[in-house]
Amino acid sequence: MLGTVRPSLLHHGDFRKLWAAATVSILGSQFTLFAVPFIALTMLHATVFEVSLLAAVEMLPFLLFTLPAGAWLDRVRRRPVLVAADIGRGVALMSIPVLYVGGNLQIWHLFVVAFITGTFTALFDVADQSFLPGLLERDDLVEGNARLQLSYSAAQIGGPTLAGNVMQVVAAPFAIVVDALSFFISGGLISAIKKREPKPEQALDAAGRPTSLRSEIASGLRYVIGDRYLRPIAGCTATSNLFGAALFGVFPVLIWRELALSPAFYGTVMGLASFGFLAGAVASNSLPRTLGIGPTIIVSAALSSPAFLLMTLTPASLGWAAVTLFAGWFVVGFSQVIYNVAQISLRQSITPPAMQSRMNATMRFIVWGTLPIGSLMGGVLATALPVRLALVIAALGSFTSVLWVLFSPLRTLHDIPEERTVASQGAVGASVLEHRDADPALTGDGDRPLVPGVGVPDDTHAGVGG
């Protein structure tokens, strides 16, 4: 009806639980993102290559498992998967302080934990992005994604400061206990969601026979690669993550070893700079209405690379180090939140429900699959070249990511199109027919990915424990 105002999601009980779960989990993950590289470099005396390899191992499951996970998750209820993944990550992380207390913590333990948590994160991430459209009405997706990004922003502000100062007082392995507990709390909150998902219907092929996982994986790939909007978003994010992983996989070496910054100093500066994430969350709802959804994606994609380059130039002087880290990270946070809200909302809005998990899994495979490759690339560069030169090369490479979206139909896309219609359930993704008329309620909103290692990740980027 004309003039009807939709109620805020603050009154949506199930969304509040999901939102609280995300907030607690994201805040806890800041402790692990800080603690694991610190443990590897200062307590276990890891090499530069081992540190970058650690980041690669955590992201390897996205390359190995996301495609089959996406097809499988379109066949099952997603909430139990979310709960199990949270509990699994909490148990794996608790092993680090336990081994430390027993005097048995070694570098290979961190690799095992990174792979286990990365595997559960891959499952959780695909299920989570597919779970939200089933929990909310379509017209609420932009607000829902914006509120989730707001929690991410708040955690980025308080988390690094809190984690850095806690690590100044207690041994770094004990800081990881906070992250483990946050996953247990998150799992409990998600399990308390009252809305029950219907069991997904078995997809059928043109002859009416159940489709195989292989054919469903192939349909997801065809859907993303063949779409004029999803393909450039995937290319932009994958390229950004490739060079971002190369940079942030090695960045802790610059911070903890070459500059020898204290956890409290570094955490406080990065926490204050993370107000950029909050500013981005605030702007993410209004900016697309002004610029249009496509131009918003392009502009936000272009801002991160100069900020990356500035951070690689961080000097030894504490005063100037604070200035460059603050300025660089503020712009990174501001631009990446806007990008995330824009591109994810666009993806969720135009994709049919039966294709959601496969679309998200395919996007994760493409855009997060470059993370382990980038981390290894950064480790090789930093082993063969001075660490700072390797970081500058990675930052310069990231400038190429915006070309994907700049020379694409996104340049002229102002409003989010309607959800596509498909020929049949069995052929979903293989034969998308059309866009319906744009929904005025969705005009100008969307979402994007993040970055790893300092750490942040993207669908965007990621880091250990995230």
Instruction: Determine how β-strand 420-422 pairs with β-strand 432-435.
Output: antiparallel
Residue 452 within a domain: no
- What is the arithmetic mean of pLDDT over 283-305? 90
Residue 201 within a domain: no
Residue 161 within a domain: yes
Token pair 């299920």: residue:
127
Distance CA 223, CA 351 (A): 9
CATH number for the domain that contains residue 357: 1.20.1250.20
Q: pTM (2 decimals)?
A: 0.74
More confident residue, 5 or 20: 20
Residue 202 within a domain: no
Give residue 434's pLDDT: 32
CB 301, CB 401: distance < 8 Å: yes
How distant is the alpha carbon of residue 167 from its chain centre? 25
Distance CA 118, CA 127 (A): 14
Give the domain extent around 167: 13-194+212-442
Does residue 429 register a pLDDT over 50?
no
Does residue 244 register a pLDDT over 90?
yes
Q: What is the pLDDT of residues 387-417, one digit of tens each?
A: 999 999 999 999 999 999 999 999 989 887 7
Give residue 251's pLDDT: 93
Strands (E), 185-274: none
CA nearest to 153, candidates 18, 23, 2: 23
- Report the chain's mean pLDDT, rounded to a whole number: 80
- What is the arithmetic mean of pLDDT over 429-455? 31
Q: What is the pLDDT of residues 247-265, one digit of tens each?
A: 998 999 999 889 989 888 9
Distance CA 145, CA 151 (A): 10
Indicate the pLDDT class of residue 237, thresholds 50, 70 and 90. Answer: very high
CA nearest to 452, candidates 56, 21, 180: 56
Indicate the pLDDT class of residue 80, thresholds 50, 70 and 90. Answer: confident
Residue 8 within a domain: no
Residue 267 within a domain: yes
- What is the arithmetic mean of pLDDT over 76-105? 90
Residue 420 within a domain: yes
More confident residue, 259 or 193: 259
Report the domain count for the chain: 1
Residue 165: HSE in the Cβ half-sphere, 13 Å Cα cutoff: 8
Residue 421 within a domain: yes
- How far apart, in Å, are the Cα atoms of 249 and each of 36, 255, 270? 12, 12, 17
Distance CA 267, CA 454 (A): 10
Q: What is the pLDDT of residues 28-70, one digit of tens each?
A: 888 888 888 889 888 898 898 998 898 889 888 888 887 787 7
